[in-house]
């Protein structure tokens, strides 16, 4: 049974703070595309209404990728990727992708993670319980 709860989190230095409503028992994912691999994020995707930036907007830097459909927000002071945002039909439209490593009092190693094959643009395959082979 899913249970959406409110979580707080932020970057390493504390400049950027947020709140997110998410069911961390069922929405955690990793992607093997080149950007996700390099930033090593484990994320939960929520609708924009479920995310609130509490502090640090002036401290945010933004990296746009994928033709501007995805924006990745990081703290310019400590460099930590905190969340992403965008509008991608395969993700159900407008979204916020929160780096669960930035959620307070959560040990990401205790969460169940599903894997997406972004490296091969294989979105139609959906998530799977194990990582995709890099050589596939």
CB 78 within 8 A of CB 11: yes
Q: Strand order of the sheet with strand 17-22?
A: 5-10, 17-22, 51-55
2.170.150.70, 1.25.40.340, 3.20.20.70, 1.20.120.420: which CATH number matches 5-103? 2.170.150.70
Q: Is the dihedral of CA 46, 113, 129, 71 positive or negative?
A: positive
pLDDT band at 134 (very low <50, low <70, confident <90, very high): low
- Sign of the CA dihedral with 117 first, then 123, 124, and 127 last: positive
> Each residue of 49-73: pLDDT tens digit?
999 999 999 999 999 977 777 899 9
Domain range annotation of the chain: 5-103
Q: Which pTM was predicted?
A: 0.87
Question: What does the alpha-carbon distance between residue 54 and residue 136 come to, in Å, rounded to a whole number?
Answer: 41
pLDDT over threshold 60, residue 81: yes
Burial 80-116 (b: 16+ CB within 10 A, else e): bbbbbbbeeeeeeeebbbbbbbbbeebeeeebebbeb
Q: Tell me what the pLDDT averaged over the chain comes to.
A: 88
Question: For residues 7 and 18, is the Cβ–Cβ distance under 8 A?
Answer: no
Please indicate whether residue 22 or residue 65 has the higher confidence score (pLDDT): 22
The pLDDT confidence band at residue 2, using thresholds 50, 70 and 90, is: low
State how beta strands 113-116 and 28-31 pair.
parallel
Residue 61: CA count within 13 A, CB half-sphere: 10
The pLDDT, as a whole number, for residue 131 is: 79
Stretch 9-35: mean pLDDT, rounded? 91
Confidence of residue 136 (pLDDT cuts 50, 70, 90): very low
pLDDT of residue 128 exceeding 80: no
């Amino acid at each position: 049974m899913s249970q959406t709860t409110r979580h707080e989190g932020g970057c390493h230095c504390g400049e950027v703070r947020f709140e997110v409503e998410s069911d961390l028992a069922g929405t955690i994912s990793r992607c093997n595309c080149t950007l996700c691999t390099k930033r090593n994020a484990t994320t939960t995707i929520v609708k924009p209404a479920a995310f609130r930036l509490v502090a640090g907007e002036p401290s945010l830097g933004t990296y746009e990728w994928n033709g501007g459909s995805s924006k990745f927000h990081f703290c310019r002071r400590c460099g930590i990727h905190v969340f992403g945002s965008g509008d991608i039909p395969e993700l159900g439209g407008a979204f916020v992708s929160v780096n669960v490593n930035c959620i307070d009092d959560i040990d990401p190693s205790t969460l169940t993670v599903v894997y997406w094959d972004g490296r091969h643009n294989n979105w139609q395959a959906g998530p799977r319980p194990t990582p995709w082979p890099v050589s596939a």
